[in-house]
Structure 1
Amino acid sequence: MRFPSRLLAANMAFALLLWAALVVLVAVVGAVIAINGSLTESAWEKAAQVPRWYALFVGVALVREYLPMYIAHGQTRRQFGAQGAVTVALFAPFLALLLVLGYLLETGIYALAGLEQALGQVHLFTDPGQLPVVFTEYLVEFLAWIVAGAFMGAGFYRWREGGVFTIPVGVGLVLLAESTVGPGLRLPFLLGRLGRLGLDLPKSPAVALAIGLAVLLAGLALTWSIIRDVPLRNRWS
C-alpha cells in the first residue's frame, strides 16, 4: 500500500468534496440572510470555524484507523510515524488553501452584491484580501488541530478509556496555536467568558508560524512516544 501518497490523495479528494458542499451551504444561508437585509459580515468567516473539527478527526483517524491497517500491510511503526508526519505537514496547508479560496469566492460575490465583507472576530489579518496572512492563520490552526487529534487518537488506541488523560494536552496544543492567531479557543458547550480560553501572546505571522511549528513538532514527538511500540488491537475488541 502506497503511503503517504495514497492516504494523502484520498483525504485531499474528500476534503475538496466537503469544501464544495460547505461553499454551497454558506452561499445558500448567506443569500437567505441577505434577502432579509441583515448580512453585514463575512459568512465564510463564521463557516471557517467548522473545518478545524474536521482536521481534528483526520488526525484521530490517522492513528486509530490507518496505523493498524498499514502495519498489517508491511509498514513498520517507524515508517508509519515518519510518513504520517509528512501527511500532516502536507494536508494542513491544503486545508488552509481551501479556506483562502473560500474567502476569494466570497469577496467576488460580495462585490457583485454590493455587500461589505466585514470581519466579526479577531484574526491575524484585518481584511480577507490579505491572502498570505489568511493562509498563515489557517495553516497554524490546522497543523495544531490535526496533530492534537493524532496525539489523542494514539492515546485512546493504546490505553482505550485511559486516553482521556491525553485530552488536556491536546487541548493545550490547540490553545497555544489559537492564541497566536486570535483570542484563543472557544468551547461551544460553555457560554460567555467561561467558553473562551486564551493566552496573551503576540499576534504576528512570524510568531504564529514559529509557535505553530513548535506545536507540530511537540505533537508529533508526543504521538510517536505512544505509537513507537504500541501493540496492534482487534478494532472490535
Structure 2
Amino acid sequence: MRFPTRLLAANAYFALLLFAGYVVVVAVIAAGVAVFGTLSQSAWEAAVQLPRWYALFTGVALVRQYLPMYVAHGQTRRQFGAQAAVTVALFAPFLSALITLGYLLEALVYNLAGRPQALDKVHLFTEPTQVPLVFVEYLLEFVTWIVSGTFIGAGFYRWEGGGLLLIPVGIGLLLLNEGAVGTDHLGLPFIGDRLALDLPHSLGLALGVGAATFVLGLALTWSIIRDMPIRNRKS
C-alpha cells in the first residue's frame, strides 16, 4: 500500500467535499441572518470552529484506524511514524488553504451585498483578505489540532480508557498554540480565561511555537506507538 500518497489524497478529497457542502450551509445561515436580522461581521470566522474539530479527529483516525492497517500490510511502526508526519505536514496546509479560500469567497459576496466583513476575534490578520497571514494562522492551528489528535488517539488505542489522562496534555498543546497566535478560538466552554497563555504577539513567535508543537506532538505520539501492540478488531 502506498503511503502517505493514498491516505493524503483520500483525506484531501473528502475534506474538499465537506468544504463545498459546508460553504453552502454557512452561506444559507448567513443569508438568513441578513434577511431576518443584521449581518455585520464575518460568518465564516465563526464557522471555522468546526473544521478544527475535523482536524482533531483526522489525527485520531490516523493512529487508531490507519496504523493497524498499514502495519498489517508490512509497514513498520517507524516507517508509519515518519510517513504520518509527512501526511500531517501536507494535510494541514491543504485545510488552511480551504479556510483561506472561504474568507475570500465571503469577502466577494459581502462586497457585492454591501456588507462589512468585520472580525469578532483577535487574529494574526486584521482583514480577512490578508491571504498570507490568514493562511499562516490556520496552518499553525490545524497542525496543532491534528497532532493533538494523533497523540490522544494513540493513547486511547494503547490504553483504552487510560487515554483520558492524555487529554489535558493535548489541550495544553492547543492552548500553547492559541497563546502564541494571540487568539482565543478553542471553543471549549470549560476552558476559562485563566488558562489562556498571554504570550507576546508576533508572527515569528507564532511560527516558532507552531513548529515546536508539531515536533513535540509527533514525538509524544511516537513514544506511545513505537512498541504499541496491534489489537485484533472485535467481530
TM range (shorter): over 0.9
Shift of 1:207: 1.3
The residue type equivalent to 1:218 in the other structure is L
Shift of 1:22: 0.9
RMSD: 1.5
Structure 2 distance, partners of 1:186, 1:86, is: 25
Q: Is the 8 A contact 2:12 2:94 kept in 1?
A: yes
1:162-209 Cα deviation digits (max 9, x unpaired): 11111111111111011122343545344xx83774101122222111
1:113-170 Cα deviation digits (max 9, x unpaired): 0000000111111100111000010000000000000001001111111111111111
The two structures have a TM-score, normalised by structure 1, of 0.95
Q: Residues 84-99 of structure 1 correspond to what in structure 2 (within 5 A)?
A: 84-99=84-99
Structure 2 distance, partners of 1:174, 1:235, is: 31
SS of 1:50's partner is helix
The residue type equivalent to 2:203 in the other structure is P
Match of 2:127 in 1: 127
Q: Is the 8 A contact 2:174 2:186 kept in 1?
A: no
The 1:105/1:88 distance shift into structure 2, 3 A limit, reads same
Q: Residues 1-237 of structure 1 correspond to what in structure 2 (within 5 A)?
A: 1-184=1-184, 186-190=186-190, 194=192, 197-236=195-234
SS of 2:116's partner is coil
Shift of 1:37: 4.1
Structure 1 distance, partners of 2:170, 2:219, is: 13
Structure 2 distance, partners of 1:47, 1:68, is: 33
The residue type equivalent to 1:236 in the other structure is K
Structure 1 distance, partners of 2:141, 2:43, is: 19
The 1:169/1:188 distance shift into structure 2, 3 A limit, reads closer
Q: Is the 8 A contact 1:151 1:219 kept in 2?
A: yes
1:200-234 Cα deviation digits (max 9, x unpaired): 11222221111000000000111001000101012
* Percent of aligned pairs with the same amino acid: 65
Number of corresponding residues: 235
The residue type equivalent to 2:18 in the other structure is L
Bigger Cα displacement from structure 2, 94-103 vs 173-182: 173-182
The 1:127/1:81 distance shift into structure 2, 3 A limit, reads same
**Structure 1 stretches (4+) deviating beyond 4 angstroms?**
none
The 1:176/1:8 distance shift into structure 2, 3 A limit, reads same
The residue type equivalent to 2:120 in the other structure is G
Q: Is the 8 A contact 1:175 1:185 kept in 2?
A: no
Bigger Cα displacement from structure 2, 97-106 vs 29-38: 29-38
Q: Which runs of 5+ in 1 are unaligned?
A: none
The two structures have a TM-score, normalised by structure 2, of 0.96
Shift of 1:49: 1.1
The residue type equivalent to 1:153 in the other structure is G
Q: Is the 8 A contact 1:179 1:185 kept in 2?
A: no
The 1:13/1:21 distance shift into structure 2, 3 A limit, reads same
